[in-house]
Amino acid sequence: MSPEDQLQYQNQKMVKPRHVAIIMDGNGRWATKQGKLRMSGHQAGAESVRRAISFAVSYQLDALTLYAFSSDNWSRPNQEVIALLELFVLVLDAEVKNLNKHDIRLNIIGDTTRFSHRLQDCIRCAEEKTQNNQGLILNIAVNYGGRWDIIHGVRALAEQVRDGSLLPEEIEEKTLSAHLCLSAIVPVDLVIRTGGEYRISNFLLWQAAYAEFWFTDILWPDFDENVFQGALHAFAKRERRFGGIAL
């Protein structure tokens, strides 16, 4: 987005977000409450993912970004990590047809190099098969961390400085922004977090600078169209000033 577009975007009276990002939390607690294994919470969470995508399409959002696996999630029991990554393969494989049917473009953000070759191939294949779609942009953050994202961008700029193609004094917000995930799409307007925690957990640290936040105690597997709608109603009542004053 050019600075002019950004200004125009900020000046709009925004009742409807164009880009919603979600921290999907509470799968484990949902399962424990039901006397089930944590993994069944993630499986139920995958159903909520489908519901949220379908709602985003019908609501005509431009972009939906889901935090599926944080770079800090590797510290979970190995069995849960393996099962979770296996679930991604299954869901991606099963959903590509549906993504195409609804004109959704899939974009995976995060450091995928630590994943098995099978999962990396599966991700690449799903992205390629949907890359020409023009509807909703679906970003799924896997092995993503906001700090990783910023470090990655800073390294790219440092290399340009080293090879002489960039002067340190030329570095501005837009210079770094252009090297971060999601740089090519509309800014994040609304971040939703389920599961009753009130923190950002290393998600979109740069990109959510002016986003509105909406928190709910609802656990992710119970997140449905009504809850999503509730978040959007709350957003419509917010006054966004982007650091300015009320007009």
Q: Which residues fall within 8 angstroms of residue 28, CB to CB, at 6 or more apart?
A: 38, 41
CA distance 186 to 193: 20
Is 162 labelled as part of a ligand binding site? no
Closest residue to ligand FPP: CB criterion: 28
Q: With respect to ligand FPP, which residue has the nearer C-beta, 22 or 153?
A: 22
66 interacts with ligand FPP by CB under 6 A: yes
226 is catalytic: no
Whose Cβ is closer to ligand FPP: residue 27's or residue 207's?
A: 27
Q: What are phi and psi of 131, to 5 degrees?
A: -65, -20
Residue 22 is a binding residue for ligand FPP (CB under 6 A) = no
By CB under 6 A, is residue 61 in contact with ligand FPP? no
CA angle 29, 30, 32 (to 5 degrees): 60
Is 103 known to be catalytic? no
Q: Which of 5, 11, 25, 121 is catalytic?
A: 25
**Contact partners, residue 6, CB within 8 Å, separation at least 6:** 187
Count other C-beta atoms under 10 Å from residue 236's C-beta. 11
Annotated catalytic residue: which of 73, 100, 133, 202? 73
Q: Is there binding between residue 85 and ligand FPP (CB under 6 A)? A: no
In the numeric block, the tokens 């630590």 are attached to 114
Tokens encoding 89: 């393969």
Q: Does 49 bind ligand FPP (CB under 6 A)?
A: yes
Contact residues: ligand FPP, CB under 6 A = 24-29, 42, 45-46, 49, 66, 68, 73, 87-88, 91, 140, 195, 220
Residues classed as catalytic: 25, 73
